Amino acid sequence: MPSPTRRPWLALAVLVIPVLLISIDMSVLSIAIPAISEDLQPSTTQLLWIVDIYSLLLAGLLVPMGYLGDTIGRRRLLLLGASVFGLASLGAAFAASPAMLIAARLVLGVGGATLMPATLALIRTIFPDPDKRRVAIAVWAAAFSVGAAAGPLLGGLLLGSFHWGAVFLINVPVMLVLLPSALLLVPESRPGAGAKIDLTSVFLVLTGMLGAVWSIKEAVHQPRLVIAPVALIAVALLIAFVRRQRGLAHPMLELSLFMLPRFRGALATNTVMIFSVVGVMFFLPQYFLLVWEMSPFEVGLYLLPLAISTVVGAVLSPFLLRFFATRTIISGGLLLASAGLTLCAALILSEGTLIAVCAGTVLLGLGSGFAETLTNDVILEAAPEDRAGAASAISETGYELGGALGTALLGSLGMGVYAAKLAAALPELPASALQTLGGAHRVAEAGEPAYQLVTEANYAFAAGSATACLAAGILCAAIALYAAYALRVRA
């Protein structure tokens, strides 16, 4: 049984710290990408790996880490992860090459994988009452948006005065606050005590997930024959993992959850929603920075409406349950997000005003807040208390996998459109100009016909950004229909 706590809301305040930290880390990185590109000069593949490796490790490790938290103690796992995350942040801050930064982001992913399932599972323990739990989950979900709002502004301030490594150093004092606070205020929860960690299952799910996502990324970006056998091996490993779970007394993955339509609908919603938001956020900061020539701080201000509207949606969603069914709010949120993404695509392509583009991001934020908050509650309700960590891990795996694939697929789609349009307009450009918009601007500064190259590159990047937004909008609309069907039975 979990240790009782008489200060549940103070405990919740501690649990949102790592959530806030991770969202700040993701949004700060999007602002810092141009500075990192200029300093370290990574290739397109390296740049995508700098962004993606963190999410890839999370996607591969969340399920075993969620199970580990149920087994050894969720608070213990949280403290361990916080320590690893803080140390890895120091390594990222002082990385001197793309390879070093990728390695540091890899370790950050390992640390992050211990933080996320532990926090959501502990909320299930601390708030057994469903109404209070929904409010707590709304606060937990809103913390992502607060971090997303604070990240660009904080990143803009830091990048205006310091080296880009400062955006990672901000993690260290946050971890120093989290460690003693968690010891004092968060109760330990170890419902799966006595269960053994199946290392074979860990190996199968980790290598299978890494191989699968790597294959998708590479197939979209640069198709090669070697991808096919890697993809087949990854699928075989994941199939072996699923089959192994059926024969274990304490399975790492609770397969019975996938038999529930509500669980599947909620998981699909989370995955697609974050896929869309993260994929679009790969483009918007660069669009504001390089096409509209804003400062990093100004970019943060223009991204603020997206984050604020997400917070509003997350906070309002539990109260809307008094008037609407769960599936109505979730599917309605997806449709709002779809409308916002489509509006962004139309405005970017037609060179609409930035205020109008922000109106599209407000719709996206509201839809995201409505959808993601209630889906997390649906996922927690579906699992027994002693498997809450594993269920949380499945939810976060979908979340992080969606984020990784959003950057990989939407990023590759948009950058593919960018390269094709720029190459058609200006043949025989250097490869660096076709790889990134920042590369095109550097080529222009080095002596190419500057005005024509910058103009064509900006137009090509806008076309790629609009294509990514439209694709995400279509996908959100499709999942809205599926969620309305899968969530038709009200909890």
pLDDT digits (tens, 9 = 90+) for 264-302: 888 889 889 888 887 888 888 888 888 888 877 777 778
What was the pLDDT predicted at 473?
93
Question: Poorest-confidence range of 124-133, 228-237, 292-301, 443-452?
Answer: 443-452
Q: 375 or 254: which carries more pLDDT confidence?
A: 375
Position 1 scores a pLDDT of 41
Averaged confidence pLDDT in the chain? 81
Collect all residues with Cβ–Cβ distance below 8 Å to 288 and sequence separation of at least 6: 294, 298, 299, 302, 303, 354
pLDDT at 57 over 60: yes
Mean pLDDT of 338-347: 91
Q: Which amino acid is at 189?
A: S
Q: Tell me, what's the pLDDT at 256?
A: 77
Is residue 338 pLDDT above 90, yes or no? yes
Helices (H), 227-325: 227-246, 261-281, 284-286, 296-320
pLDDT of residue 467: 92
pTM: 0.75
Mean pLDDT, residues 247-272: 82
- Considering only CA atoms, which of 193, 249, 212 is closest in space to residue 404? 212
Does 305 have pLDDT greater than 50?
yes
Query: pLDDT higher for 108 or 376?
Result: 108
Q: How many Cα atoms sit within 13 Å of 205 on the Cβ side? A: 26
| 4 has pLDDT over 60 | no
The pLDDT score that the predictor gives to residue 165 is: 85
Q: Reduced to 3 states, what is the DSSP secondary structure of residue 459?
A: helix
Domain boundaries, the chain: 8-198+248-486, 199-247
**pLDDT of amino acid 447:** 66
The rounded distance, in Å, linking the Cα atoms of 376 and 119 is 12
Chain centroid to Cα 230, Å, comes to 25
pLDDT at 56 > cutoff 90: no
Residues 379 and 123: beta-carbon distance below 8 Å: no
Tell which CATH architecture fits domain 8-198+248-486: Up-down Bundle (1.20)
Confidence at residue 448, expressed as pLDDT on a 0 to 100 scale: 56
